[in-house]
Amino acid sequence: MKKFRASLIMVMVLSTILMVEVQVGMADCNPLNLMSCLASIIGNTAPAPDSLCCNSLHAESESCLCSYAKNPDYQKYFKMPGAGKVSQACSTTWPDPNTCS
């Protein structure tokens, strides 16, 4: 009985640690980090993205970009013609929400 109890406590502690790590990882995702790219994405005569935009885009993890691409509030920005121009100018690609994990 003591072994079972100790094992149960260990599982609970490990589960708590994993949950905290996942939440901390998700806390790093902030779409506001990409605000410097917005004008280049949404405008018909949009300015070319500047270095702040490209640096911000490169700093975002793929999992964050995938979460934005899957989010209905942000999907429209990924589909705008300016998004392709930003991606090309910054030498990166936007994730495909259909293949994101």
Which domains does the chain show, CATH number per domain? 30-89 (1.10.110)
Q: Please tell me the predicted confidence (pLDDT) of residue 23.
A: 41
Q: Please tell me the predicted confidence (pLDDT) of residue 2.
A: 55
**Angle 74-64-28 (CA atoms, 0-180°, nearest 5)?**
115
Residues whose CB falls within 8 Å of the CB of residue 33, separated by 6 or more in sequence, listed in order? 56, 59, 60
Q: Please tell me the predicted confidence (pLDDT) of residue 43.
A: 78
Q: Is the pTM of this model over 0.75?
A: no
Q: Give me 11's structure tokens.
A: 């599982």
Buried-exposed string 41-60: b where 16+ CB fall within 10 A, e elsewhere: beeeebeebeeebbebbeeb
The three-class DSSP label of residue 14 is helix
Per-residue pLDDT of the chain (101 residues; tens, 9 = 90+): 555 443 333 334 333 333 333 344 455 899 999 999 999 999 777 788 999 999 999 999 999 999 999 999 998 998 888 998 999 999 998 888 888 87
